């Protein structure tokens, strides 16, 4: 499918009204003139190829307990090979109802109470809360703002790791900064992990939304695809949910070479890991097999939206944003704006971003740009109103 050359791709010009659908994103400020731009789902309908697959599964009519259908793991393997040049064996795949659920399982599978799980901050909030909920310790290492991206401070990493740290939860690409870690970064992480006997759990849920890939820019390197022992031991978590807007269908996958670990996966969940719904499987398989043309059009839109955000932020004194290399998120530093509570100022101006405090970064906000362009333009007008008045 040819990419539309103009800026107004009809596929994303409008979005269904989500009021009254139980949308977490839209219900948060229900009844108020606040445009939600926080939780990471998109306002767009899922691709037609995915809807058709769901319809076909509905037409079958039977929705009993469902194991991964035979096409599920091969569809993911095919997708990873095509998109990221990573060859996996379908037997390395287990399904999970979500990446957050999978992270929680890894805490219980690979660590004992009190042991440590290390991650970079700022970070997607469950990385911060799940270790404590499992009785484990969260060890946090700040990324450093660089010229072009947020970067790893390896000295800080060495200083933070403890003898009882067991896991490295890597968010790659990184939410909320949008950093795409380079092969060199990943190799250095692998060395670090091997030196300290840490297992890497790489959350790659954003790996199909790299914004500059089509233009010869950075590509995603799956951590587990490295030629390194730490990579061979890693567990990779992926899902179609961010890329094709399927989060409500609860279908993700964990990839790991060790069949013993996959066998212990569900028991480690202590009975709290539910089976995945047949509709989730149908959607995931269709997205991985047939969703790429839609994805490419989406990325073109998101690239344009990133420029709009950068332009708006540059026009507001005291705001700064290192452009994301991946995701549809903009991580905005408001600390120099002289506004004591940026989140509250935004809500008062009629937009609801994510609050940096939830990511261990007070003074920041995170904007979700995955909405029709005219809605984003209004969000950015209101952003200006929040800080300029």
Ligand X SMILES: Cc1ncc(COP(=O)(O)O)c(C=O)c1O
| Element holding 119 (H helix, E strand) | strand 116-121
CB of 329 to ligand X, least distance (A): 8
Nearer to ligand X, 39 or 194 (CB): 39
Q: How far apart are CA 372 and CA 7, in angstroms?
A: 11
**Quick one: 316 or 370, whose CB is closer to ligand X?**
370
Query: Between residues 124 and 265, which has the closer beta carbon with respect to ligand X?
Result: 124
Between the CA of residue 196 and those of 112, 184, 192, 292, what are the distances in Å? 16, 18, 6, 39
* Minimum separation from the CB atom of position 101 to ligand X (A): 6
**Closest distance between ligand X and the C-beta of residue 274, in Å?**
13
Q: Rounded to whole angstroms, how far apart are CA atoms 46 and 290? A: 12
CB 192 to ligand X: min, Å: 20
**Residue 249 beta carbon to ligand X: minimum distance, rounded to whole angstroms:** 10
Strands 116-121 and 137-142: parallel
Q: Decide whether 117 or 239 has the Cβ nearer to ligand X.
A: 239
Rounded least distance, CB 370 to ligand X, Å: 11
Q: Are 331 and 366 in contact (CB under 8 A)?
A: yes
Residue 262: half-sphere exposure toward Cβ, Cα within 13 Å: 16
Nearest residue to 284 via CA among 314, 254, 324, 241: 241
Cβ nearer to ligand X, comparing 100 with 383: 100
> Closest distance between ligand X and the C-beta of residue 241, in Å?
5
CA 286/CA 167 separation, integer angstroms: 33
Q: What is the DSSP secondary-structure string of 147-173?
A: SSSEE--HHHHHHH--TTEEEEEEESS
Distances (CA, A) of 165 to 117, 128, 170, 193, 195: 6, 15, 14, 10, 12
- Smaller CB separation from ligand X, 173 or 350: 173
Q: Which of residues 39 and 339 has its CB atom nearest to ligand X in the complex?
A: 39
Cβ closer to ligand X: 200 or 239? 239
Residue 91: CA atoms inside 13 Å, Cβ hemisphere, count?
5
- Pair of tokens at residue 171: 């968010």
**Interhelix angle for 373-388 vs 292-314, to 10°?**
20
Dihedral of CA atoms 53, 59, 61, 66 in degrees, nearest 10, equals -10
Proportion of the chain in helix, strand, coil states, percent, rounded to 5: 45, 15, 40
Length of the chain: 389
Question: Min. distance of Cβ 280 from ligand X in angstroms?
Answer: 10
Shortest gap between Cβ of 207 and ligand X (angstroms)?
10
Query: Using CB under 6 A as the criterion, which residues of the chain lie in contact with ligand X when the complex forms?
Result: 40, 98-100, 124, 171, 175, 203, 205, 239, 241, 247, 252
Nearer of residues 38 and 387 to ligand X, judged by Cβ: 38
Backbone angles phi, psi at 330, to 5 degrees: -120, 125
Q: How far is the CB of 161 from ligand X (least distance, A)?
A: 22
The smaller minimum CB distance to ligand X, of residues 203 and 355, is found at: 203
């Amino acid at each position: 499918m040819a990419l539309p050359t103009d800026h107004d791709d009809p596929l994303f010009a409008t979005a269904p009204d989500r009021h009254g659908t139980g949308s977490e994103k839209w219900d948060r400020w229900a009844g108020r003139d606040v445009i939600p731009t926080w939780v990471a789902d998109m306002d767009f309908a899922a691709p037609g190829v995915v809807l058709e697959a769901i319809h076909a599964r509905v037409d079958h009519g039977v929705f009993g307990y469902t194991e991964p259908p035979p096409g599920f793991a091969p569809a993911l393997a095919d997708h990873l090979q095509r998109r990221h040049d990573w060859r996996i064996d379908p037997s390395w795949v287990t399904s999970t109802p979500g990446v957050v659920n999978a992270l929680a399982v890894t805490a219980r599978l690979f660590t004992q109470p009190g042991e440590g799980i290390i991650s970079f901050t700022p970070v997607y909030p469950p990385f911060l809360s799940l270790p404590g909920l499992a009785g484990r310790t969260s060890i946090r290492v700040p990324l450093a703002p660089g010229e072009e991206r947020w970067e790893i401070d390896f000295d800080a990493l060495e200083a933070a790791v403890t003898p009882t740290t067991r896991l490295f939860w890597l968010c790659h690409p990184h939410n909320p900064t949008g950093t795409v870690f380079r092969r060199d970064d990943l190799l250095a992480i692998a060395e670090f992990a091997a030196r300290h006997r840490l297992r890497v759990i790489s959350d790659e849920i954003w790996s199909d939304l790299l914004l500059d890939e089509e233009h010869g820019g950075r590509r995603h390197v799956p951590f587990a695809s490295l030629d390194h022992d730490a990579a061979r031991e890693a567990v990779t978590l992926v899902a179609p949910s961010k890329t094709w807007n399927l989060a409500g269908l609860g279908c993700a996958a964990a990839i790991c070479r060790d069949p013993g670990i996959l066998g212990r996966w569900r028991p480690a969940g202590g009975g709290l890991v539910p089976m995945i719904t047949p509709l989730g499987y149908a959607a995931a398989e269709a997205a991985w097999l047939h969703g790429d043309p839609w994805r490419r059009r989406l990325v073109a839109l998101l690239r344009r939206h990133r420029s709009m955000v950068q332009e708006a932020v540059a026009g507001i004194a005291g705001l700064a944003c290192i452009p994301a290399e991946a995701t549809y998120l903009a991580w905005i530093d408001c600390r120099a704006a002289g506004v004591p509570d940026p989140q509250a100022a935004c809500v008062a101006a009629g937009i609801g971003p994510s609050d940096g405090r939830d990511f261990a970064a007070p003074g920041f906000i995170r904007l979700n740009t995955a909405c029709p362009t005219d809605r984003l333009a209004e969000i950015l007008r209101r952003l200006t109103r929040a800080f300029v008045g």
